[in-house]
Amino acid sequence: MQPYHQISIIECGELLVKIPLELFAVESPHPYQKLGATYGEYSPYYLRESVVKNLIKAQNYLQLLHPGWYLQIFDGYRPVGVQQFMVDYSFGEALRGRGLSAEELSPQQREEVWQQVYEIWAVPSLDMNTPPPHSTGAAVDITLVDDDAEVIDMGSAIDEMSVRSHPDYYAQSNPHYHAHRQLLRDIMLKAGFKRNPREWWHFSFGDQMWGWLYNQSNPDYPVTARYGRLI
């Protein structure tokens, strides 16, 4: 279990709605669908209704600071089946990065690789009390695109399984990358989101992680999560 799983979920029943992609930048085709992930009746570009409204607010804040810049939606709603698909895929990528095959792994090596994977990926749990954040429709992975339609360099790729993914990794070593990450954080926090402490690109509103982070800053006025797992 993760620390944020201590937050109770009181499902509000809000619907998943399609993100109005005309207001944002989008990577197309979707990265996980290119790999073979299947989303079923929805797509990666769905989120809970209030989450979408707040995402639009964040886009408007960005436009005030940098006219012509856009939030690029990398991934939104993610069924547990897709979470499992990407966890398995990332395990294979981690093996390839180490020059190993699954058949030759020692128990210790296997444990080390899984630890690397779960530094970034939530466990694809089917327990309604411990849903992966994206499976609630309340988490979104995003980056920035400038007025030349170029993706802003954040110093590491989304989903990179390394310490470079930590939001403050470049705080001392590269003010340029850090400033971009802080800009993304600032506009998202202003719109009500909270940022994953381990991933510069992951923001949520209303799920367990959001509640856990909110309560750390507001211990006298604790909240519960309003969104649980959908599928």
**So which residues are the catalytic ones?**
199
Q: What tokens does 4 get?
A: 């944020």
How far is CA 43 from each of CA 11, 21, 30, 173, rounded to the nearest angstrom? 21, 12, 9, 38
Name residue 208's amino acid: Q
Of 138, 160, 219, 150, the residue nearest 180 (C-alpha) = 150
Query: Exposed, middle or buried: residue 132 (CB in 10 Å: 0-12, 13-18, 19+)?
Result: buried
Q: E-assigned strands of the chain?
A: 16-18, 25-26, 46-48, 70-75, 139-145, 194-195, 202-204
Phi first, then psi: give them for residue 169, nearest 5 degrees: -55, -40
First vs last Cα of the chain: how many Å apart? 20
b vs e for 62-78, b when ≥16 Cβ sit within 10 Å of the residue's Cβ? beeeeeebbbbbbbbbb
